[in-house]
Every structure is written in structure tokens, then in C-alpha cells.
């Protein structure tokens, strides 16, 4: 099976890159160890957030924000995106001062997407919020989407563009000779000019197989879904410096997360819910929204994703091995970036370069040799 590009990993980042590269005429095969969306992309809270982003990510995030508003043009479905706004609460004066400083810094850079809001604004955007919330930051164009609709839409659009997707296809070895990669998988041999490492929590393993050993940690973020309650929360809510994200779905259920970490299995292949750690996010939700006390939890889960030391992804060509592109390490906030990062990876595949400056995302910052030195 020979192709221009072999993408390893059928999460949303692999699918987005595959789709956007195939539309530009290259032949793309994508291999996924389980089924598409099995890991972080299927476990995500699907918040679409430019709010509070690391400055290095903002150019990609702002481009992605634009795409989310026109998602149908990219994948023929809006992926359930709703621009319900994202509100970051300040639960005390110190948090508000830090938010104000961040917004002032963004404005000095000519970026005006975040708006500083006071306690009255918070009450009007989020009636019922605890009065101890003194203000915050609001982005009206942010929101959330439906992750499973997004996976289906990106998968179907990729197939329509000519991408071959092979599921239950674990990559077990990679070798390169005469400008070509040879990937051994449990479903046979694949050959390609370029390889894209979009293997999420297992990207370090792929990097070792490819001869560019990188090191990352694994996040095991947890989520809770509650029973349905009357509509009361419109924006996606977070709290500055706290482990909280809270939103209400169109069905009325509440989705509570915010980065509380589950338990990673010793073989690093799965993660289980740590109910004590999860309780801190649930308590944070009740603290900012006292009416939620007594609402019943119906389901919990933990998802797995690569996390880098600086919490921003690795995106770009390997500096060590030819014909290898890395795209992983989104550290808990890569869902929103799917359309723009896919576009950038497609640029790298098709043109060898892109208009975004990828210096902050270079792989060498997490190279094992460098970490050891
Ligand atoms: C609980 C949770 C909540 C989140 N909430 C948000 C949010 O609100 N907003 C936001 O922006 N982001 C959020 N994120 C982060 C976001 O979901 C991820 O950044 C994004 O989904 C990562 O996509 P991916 O394609 O890089 O990884 P994944 O979806 O994990 O895909 C990687 C794939 O590679 C496959 N693979 C690995 N090794 C191999 C191999 N050897 N051979 C073949 N296939 C292989 C895996 O099986 C996996 O399916 C959240 C994540 C979690 C877990």
C-alpha cells in the first residue's frame, strides 16, 4: 500500500490534516489503532475557546475560531457548534486583576477578542451565579460543539476527499530508506513519502519508532455528565486558576470538567476515573453555581492525551528525521484548533512550509537528548 502521506492516528487532528491535504491532490492514507475518535477526540468536552489561550497559540486559535463559524464549508456539517460564548470567572479580586492584566497585554498586541466584564455583567450573562464572582473575561464568539458529530463529519469529508482510513491498524515499526517510509502494521505494510505523527497520547512511541525520540507526559482529564435540568447556563463557564469547566448541553445535561486528572494505568494504555479528584471540579461548579447542589451525576469518564511541559503542542517537521511531521501534545485544549492546525499540516505536506510561525511548537524542545542534557 503506497501513498504520498501516511497519517498515524485517527483523532480529529489526524483526520483534519488528512482531509485538507487530500483536497489539495495528494494521496493520503490514515491508520488508526482502534476506531476513529477512540481517544481524546471522543472524550473531549469540545469547548471552542480562544479565551485565555497561550499567546503562542493565538494566531492558530483565532484562525480556527473563524473556521468554526463557517464549519459547514469545511466538512459539510456545523459539527453542532454553538457560539454561546465562553466566560472565565474571577472568584476574587486577585483573579480579576490577573485577567485584566492579560486583556491589557492582548490589547497592546492589537488583539481585542476578550472583554473584561464586571460583577453586573457576569450576573446578566449567567443569572444565578454566586455573588462572590467579582467579574471575569468574556468572548461572545467562542462556544462549544458536538465532538461525535465533528468526528463523523471530518471522517466522512476525508473519505469523500479520497483519504483511505484503516481502523484497527496499529503501527508497530517504521523504517526509512531511499526517501521512503515503510510502516509495519498489524494489517500489513504501508509505504509513504511522508509520515504524520498524530498519535495523541502515544506520539512519543511513534517518535521513537521514527528515530526522533521525544518525551511527553499524559494527561488523563475527567468529565462528568449530570441528569437533565431546566435550561439555566448559556455560556461555557470556567474559573480563573481553578479546575472548572461547566456547560449545559442542548439536551439539558450539564457537562463538568476542567482538568481534574484520573488514574493512568501502569501500561499507559488506559485511564480510570479518580472520583476524589473529580469531586474538586464538581465542588467548584457548585461553588460558582449553588443551585446545582443535589443535581445527580449520571456518567463519568477519563480521556488520554499527550501533554508537553509548556502545555502547547508540537507542530511541524522533525528537525532530526526527514519526511516526518509531528502534530500532537495539545495538552487538554486541542479541539478548538482542529481546523487551523489541519490546514497548517496540509501546508507542510503539500508545500513544505506554512504561513504560521511554528517556532514555539518545534519538536526539539521535548527531544529526549535535550531533556537529558
Ligand atoms: C476530557 C477531555 C476534555 C477536553 N476538553 C477540551 C475542550 O473543551 N476544548 C478543547 O479545545 N480541547 C479539549 N480537549 C483536548 C482535545 O480533545 C484534544 O486536544 C484533541 O482531541 C486531540 O486530538 P488528537 O487527534 O491529537 O488525539 P486523539 O484524538 O487522542 O487521537 C490520537 C489517535 O492516535 C491513535 N494511535 C496512537 N498510537 C497509534 C499507533 N501506533 N498506530 C495507529 N494509531 C495510533 C490513537 O488510538 C488515537 O485514536 C479535551 C480532552 C479531554 C481528554
Query: Which cell is 66 given?
Result: 473563524
| Fold designation for 86-140+221-302 | D-Amino Acid Oxidase; Chain A, domain 2 (3.30.9)
Q: Is the CB of 9 under 6 A from ligand 1?
A: yes
Q: Is the CB of 342 under 6 A from ligand 1?
A: no
Query: Which cell is 109 given?
Result: 498586541
Q: Where are the beta strands (DSSP E) in 115-244?
A: 115-118, 135-139, 143-144, 164-166, 171-177, 180-185, 188-197, 217-219, 222-228, 236-239
Q: Is the CB of 39 under 6 A from ligand 1?
A: yes
Q: For residues 253 and 229, what is the distance between their CA atoms, to the nearest angstrom?
A: 6
- Ligand 1 centroid, distance to 112 Cα (angstroms): 29
Q: Is the CB of 200 under 6 A from ligand 1?
A: yes
Closest residue to atom 4 of ligand 1, CA basis: 44
Residue from 6, 20, 45, 339 to probe ligand 1 pocket by mutation (most atoms less than 8 Å from CB) = 45
At residue 281, the pLDDT reads 87
Q: Is the CB of 32 under 6 A from ligand 1?
A: yes
At residue 373, the pLDDT reads 45
CATH 3.30.9.10 intervals, the chain:
86-140+221-302
247, 234 contact by CB (below 8 A): no
- Ligand 1 centroid, distance to 345 Cα (angstroms): 16
At residue 232, the pLDDT reads 87
Closest CA to 80 of 117, 46, 53, 113: 46
Below-50 pLDDT ranges, the chain: 373
CATH 3.50.50.60 intervals, the chain:
2-62+147-216+308-372
Residue from 8, 9, 88, 220 to probe ligand 1 pocket by mutation (most atoms less than 8 Å from CB) = 9
Look up the CATH architecture of domain 2-62+147-216+308-372: 3-Layer(bba) Sandwich (3.50)
Amino acid at each position: 500500500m503506497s501513498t504520498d502521506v501516511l497519517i498515524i492516528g485517527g483523532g480529529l487532528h489526524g483526520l483534519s490534516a488528512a482531509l485538507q491535504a487530500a483536497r489539495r491532490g495528494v494521496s493520503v492514507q490514515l491508520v488508526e489503532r482502534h476506531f476513529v475518535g477512540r481517544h481524546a477526540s471522543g472524550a473531549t468536552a469540545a469547548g471552542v475557546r480562544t479565551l485565555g489561550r497561550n499567546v503562542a497559540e493565538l494566531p492558530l486559535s483565532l484562525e480556527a475560531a473563524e473556521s468554526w463559524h463557517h464549519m459547514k464549508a469545511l466538512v459539510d456539517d456545523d459539527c453542532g457548534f454553538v457560539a454561546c460564548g465562553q466566560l472565565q470567572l474571577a472568584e476574587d479580586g486577585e483573579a480579576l486583576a490577573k485577567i485584566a492584566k492579560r486583556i491589557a497585554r492582548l490589547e497592546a498586541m492589537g488583539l481585542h477578542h476578550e472583554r473584561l466584564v464586571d460583577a453586573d455583567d457576569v450576573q446578566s450573562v449567567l443569572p444565578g451565579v454566586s455573588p462572590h464572582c467579582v467579574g471575569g473575561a468574556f468572548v461572545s464568539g467562542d462556544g462549544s460543539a458536538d465532538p461525535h458529530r465533528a468526528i463523523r463529519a471530518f471522517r466522512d469529508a476525508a473519505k469523500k476527499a479520497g483519504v483511505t482510513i484503516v481502523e484497527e491498524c496499529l503501527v508497530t515499526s517504521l523504517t526509512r530508506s531511499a526517501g521512503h517510509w515503510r510502516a509495519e502494521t498489524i494489517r500489513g505494510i504501508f509505504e509513504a513519502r511522508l509520515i504524520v505523527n498524530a498519535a495523541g497520547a502515544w506520539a512519543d512511541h511513534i517518535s521513537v519508532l521514527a528515530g526522533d525520540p521525544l518525551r511527553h507526559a499524559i494527561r488523563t482529564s475527567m468529565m462528568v455528565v449530570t441528569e437533565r435540568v431546566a435550561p439555566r447556563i448559556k455560556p461555557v463557564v470556567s474559573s480563573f486558576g481553578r479546575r472548572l469547566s461547566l456547560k449545559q448541553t442542548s439536551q439539558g445535561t450539564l457537562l463538568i470538567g476542567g482538568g481534574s486528572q484520573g488514574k493512568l494505568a501502569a501500561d499507559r494504555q488506559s485511564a480510570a476515573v479518580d472520583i476524589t479528584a473529580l469531586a474538586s471540579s464538581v465542588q467548584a461548579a457548585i461553588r460558582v453555581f449553588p443551585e446545582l447542589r443535589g443535581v445527580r451525576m449520571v456518567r463519568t469518564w477519563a480521556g488520554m492525551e499527550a501533554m508537553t511541559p509548556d502545555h502547547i503542542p508540537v507542530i511541524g517537521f522533525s528537525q532530526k528525521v526527514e519526511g516526518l511531521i509531528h502534530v500532537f501534545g495539545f495538552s487538554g485544549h486541542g479541539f478548538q484548533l482542529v481546523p487551523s492546525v489541519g490546514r497548517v499540516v496540509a501546508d507542510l505536506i503539500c508545500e513544505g512550509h506554512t504561513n504560521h510561525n511554528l517556532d514555539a511548537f518545534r519538536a526539539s524542545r521535548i527531544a529526549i537528548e535535550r531533556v537529558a542534557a
